[in-house]
Amino acid sequence: MSESRLKNHLFHVRRLAVWLSEPLAVLILVFCATTAIAQPFYVPSGSMEPTLQIGDALIGSKFAYGYSRYSLPMGLGPRSETRLLGHIPARGDVAVFSLPRDPKVTYVKRVIGLPGDRIQMVDGRLVINGKTVLLTPAGTGQVENEDGSSTPVGRFTETLPGGVRHPIFKIRWDGMLDNTRTFIVPAGHLFMMGDNRDNSLDSRVPADEGGVGFVPVENLMARADATIGSYDFLNMHGPASWPGLVRLSRFLHGVT
């Protein structure tokens, strides 16, 4: 190859490298940001109503609980019982986690039980370490069903040990999950529940029965901090209805 052709070849290689460097840098930045800082998540079910609605888009803080293999895309990384810069969640946090029995599935629930806690449901009331949690009537609300319809339901404010207050929906007091055995949360695990108490598959159902069971701290992905948008796709009835399905009130709405 002549010197002129070699210089021309190198010139084009450098131009290609410069052209690729910008999108590559963006990809690296996005990968690092969604791994270490924050990540968006989508809410496909009503198990956390009224706190979260079907169609909500969440932003989750990845650094809140430290880092494990589930902080990485697709859970790539070595298994470990400890987390890098790890922190145990506060009771009452709304947390995103990888489902223990199927790590490819992502769930979002509220942290109810911490390691060593004794959790039980008695006549529909939550009991933590032998004490019935304060439950205060707060009117009624509307549960959005998976067919887009709504059902009126009782709304209550639950006050957890430590003072965290949050809303729940409760339809009945004698359902299948309203009277349970006492669950003792193992070390390194959490007990998670949905705020829509009669329509939530959570830690009240063991993993070997198709439920969530105890959630290893390793499986935590993020703390749900805010909704960054929401779209009521269940009531989509053609293009004319699309603009009205955007829930503007859910934009930049804090999750508590």
Q: Give yes or no for a contact between 155 and 141, defined as CB atoms under 8 angstroms apart.
A: yes
Residue-level pLDDT at 72: 76
Structural domain boundaries in the chain: 1-36, 38-254
CA atoms within 13 A on the CB side of 249: 4
Run of H or E including 28: helix 3-36
Compare 246 and 158 and report the one with higher pLDDT.
Answer: 158
Q: Indicate whether 35 pLDDT > 50.
A: no
Catalytic residue among 47, 71, 203, 230: 47
Round to whole Å and give the CA distance between 75 and 72: 5
Catalytic residue among 62, 68, 71, 109: 109
The domain 38-254: what is its CATH number?
Answer: 2.10.109.10
Confidence at 100, pLDDT banded by 50, 70, 90: very high
pLDDT (mean) for 165-192: 97
Would you state the torsion angle of the CA atoms of residues 50, 251, 163, 124, taken in this order, to the nearest 10 degrees? 10
Q: Per-residue pLDDT tens for 207-235?
A: 999 999 999 999 999 999 999 999 887 77
The answer to whether 47 is a known catalytic residue is: yes
Residue-level pLDDT at 22: 46
Q: Indicate whether 111 pLDDT > 90.
A: yes
